[in-house]
Amino acid sequence: MTLLEQLHKKIETRQARISVIGLGYVGLPVALSFARAGFRVTGIDSSPAKIERLKCGETGITDVSSDDLQATEGRFHPTLDYAEIRDQDVVIICVPTPLSKTKDPDLSYILDAVEGLSGYLRPGGLVVLESTTYPGTTDEVVLPVLSRSGMKAGVDFGLAYSPERIDPGNKQYSFSTIPKVVGGITPDCRALAASLYGQIVERVVPVSSTRTAEMVKLLENTFRSVNIGLVNEIALICDRLGIDVWETIEAAATKPFGFTPFYPGPGLGGHCIPIDPHYLSWKLKALNYSARFIALASEVNASMPHYVVEKVVGTLNDMEKSVKGSRVLLMGVAYKADVNDERESPAIEVFEILTAKGARVSYHDPHIPKLRLNEGGVRSVNLTTQTLKRADCVVILTAHRVFDAAFIVRHARAVVDTRNVTRGMAAEHICRL
């Protein structure tokens, strides 16, 4: 039996020992899914605070509860120490892939993880990259580092890419019910990765290469970014034409084929949609090709926080107030509903533009007790009738389920609603996007 056939057998019998590097929104659910399925899992993270929290039974992630940790029955072991990879069979990399200040891919986290594990990878092991990245990362960046040991991919060790499609806050689709795409450096590597994920997800979708698997993820997120850009532009157009964009989308969505509804909002947020398409355009720049849809969608989406501020200024103007000195309360600063993640949230920009214009801005978000701004941080205020009444304008930026739109409308002097949570309410003091 070859080394990779031996690993295959260990995976199928759930004897394989698995390490997951990076225990965030992606890595922790992956690690716990394997542990719940009976695998012994070592979780490696570079943050001592995160490892301490996990050891105390706290996850820090809304979708992953302490009960999920308990359900692993001691098979999940969090650590800071890469040396523990020494006796592992599978290593899955789930570290961040942000943009640099110049909006270029920042692969430093992937490189740190690959360098960190390379000295401990043993013959017969499998490495899977899950971080979102541009096509070519696995074979052009990861493979050369792992090959320095003299071992050969597809013979001595396996290497694969499998994009993560988890959708934080989504109650309908969970890790196990979302099909998992896998591509390998060789067909044997792909078969190993397919057998690995086949243990914990209902459906695995093998593709012909790691580059295709990397491209699948970027297609999915570029599709979202472009469609959100389109519908945001439709919102701007409807505004000029005096047409209700929400009513328009709702009616268009009754077409049973050929139309998928997307909804406007205050701008893009999160660790994926505003960032991932830039990985693709960066890669294409090197090939002298300009990814035009990506650039245009990004331009429209990036203008939305300014549009929201325009609406606030207009609303205050109708009340014969200037934005300078007015009290503005932002409802929700997480980038989307029901998550405790404010990364790239458009609320941050809305907050900062309004503050720069002299408004006295505060926010309420039950999921984000403290918001980091460019200059310092602010704390969420309590939501009471008094807080609402005191504000000159209340801006609904995130549609958290706990927000009671009727309560907000009843007590606020003016409401700018960027999420259509006040749908059907006919009050004069509501301004919808």
Q: Minimal CA–CA distance to 116: which of 141, 145, 88, 144?
A: 145
| Nearer to ligand NAD (CB atom), residue 95 or residue 312 | 95
Residue among 238, 272, 393, 431 flagged as catalytic: 272
- Pairing relation of β-strands 377-379 and 393-396? unpaired
| Nearer to ligand NAD (CB atom), residue 5 or residue 115 | 115
Smallest distance, ligand NAD to C-beta of residue 229, A: 19
Q: Cα-flanking dihedrals φ and ψ of residue 206, to 5°?
A: -75, 140
Q: Give me the residue whose beta carbon is nearest to ligand NAD.
A: 24
Q: Minimal CA–CA distance to 136: which of 185, 95, 181?
A: 185
- 3-class DSSP state of 91: strand
Smallest distance, ligand NAD to C-beta of residue 415, A: 29
* Residues in contact with 41: Cβ distance below 8 Å, sequence separation at least 6, in sequence order: 17, 18, 19, 20, 31, 32, 34, 35, 72, 75, 76, 77
Kindly state the tokens that stand for 357: 């214009």
Q: Cα-flanking dihedrals φ and ψ of residue 227, to 5°?
A: -70, -35
In the chain, the largest separation of any two C-alpha atoms, in whole Å, equals: 81
Q: Which residue type sits at 417?
A: D
Smallest distance, ligand NAD to C-beta of residue 240, A: 34
Q: Is 272 a catalytic residue?
A: yes
* Residues binding ligand NAD (CB under 6 A): 21-27, 44-47, 50, 94-97, 109, 112-113, 131-132, 164, 166, 168, 271-272
| Nearer to ligand NAD (CB atom), residue 78 or residue 158 | 78
Q: Which residue type sits at 42?
A: T
Q: Which residue has the tokens 């509804």?
A: 261
| Nearer to ligand NAD (CB atom), residue 93 or residue 235 | 93
| Nearer to ligand NAD (CB atom), residue 88 or residue 315 | 88
Smallest distance, ligand NAD to C-beta of residue 401, A: 18
Smallest distance, ligand NAD to C-beta of residue 235, A: 25
Distance CA(283)–CA(340), nearest Å, equals 31
Distance CA(175)–CA(182), nearest Å, equals 15
Smallest distance, ligand NAD to C-beta of residue 60, A: 9
> ∠153-158-164 over CA atoms, to 5°?
125
| Nearer to ligand NAD (CB atom), residue 44 or residue 430 | 44
Contact status, residue 405 vs residue 420, Cβ threshold 8 Å: no
Residues that are catalytic: 272
